[in-house]
Amino acid sequence: MTTKLLSQFSRDMQQRGLSELTQEAYLRNVNKFVDFYGKELRKATSKDVNKYLYHLMSNRKLKQVSCNQHAAALKMFFSITLDKQWARDKIVFAKTPKKLPDVLSGSEVIKVLKHFDSIKHKTIALVCYGAGLRINEALHLKIKDIDSKRDVINVRQGKGQKDRQVPLSPRLLNSLRVYYKNERPQGEYLFPGNGKYRVLTKEAFSKALNKALNKVDIDKVVTAHVFRHSYATHLIEAGVDLRSVQVLMGHSSIQSTARYVHLTTARMQTISSPLELLGKPEGQILG
């Protein structure tokens, strides 16, 4: 019975257009609940699900974001596959702290790029920073997605199963040409993996990135996504409007883009304190 329900869950996710990565994660998370619960799934209640989520946070020490990923998977499974009305309203999501992401300065980006051992890993980082791609989008680029005649990169089936185009700058195009000439990737993918993997894995890139970071003195938490954050922040600092940045980043909501305004040091430096508007020469305000 459980196997049939999980198969139906997979079909439900496919029907709703969830990405392959999301489907894999949701199925994995539901399987973990199955192991924890140990009973007939149709008998589970909201109390059982929330007890499990509390277990993940208190005993497994999972962070709020990770717990919410489990909650999202279980909410979809019980509300859609099992048609449980309570799942739509009573599965508890943890309140997550709203933290601003780390952003690299231009000089820090150069430092990191210089210390990659492999031209493939370096070029992937260049694509994430130079075009604002998510790491999964960069890794799944196909050779045909690089349109040098129109100076665009075609990002296919990004987050939310959406296609978009981003500008291909002359410097990034040159770097891609150098990489292609050196590596001659076989097959349709620009960054093929080894062995059974069609594309390079995120784990392999993260390992290469951490190796590069160990060689530089940067006191920030740097992941592949930080290159994307830096791209958006530097665009806004250069005066690009929020709506344009939203389109380039592939954000569904302008609110997701607006958070980068808080990270732009250039704009902060141009904002005057109200104290400067009081109309008296410096040093005489209190005199």
Looking at the annotation, which residues are catalytic? 134, 159, 225, 228, 251, 260
Best CA proximity match to 131, nearest among 250, 241, 215, 252: 250
Do the beta carbons of residue 168 and residue 153 sit within 8 Å? yes
Give 3-state DSSP helix, strand, coil % of the chain, rounded to 5. Answer: 60, 5, 35
Contacts with 74 (C-beta within 8 Å, 6 or more apart), sequence order: 29, 30, 33, 49, 52, 53, 87, 91
- What gap in Å lies between CA 101 and CA 111, rounded to an integer? 19
The token pair at 243 is 């709506």
The token pair at 197 is 């993997």
Distances (CA, A) of 192 to 9, 114, 145, 169: 31, 22, 14, 23
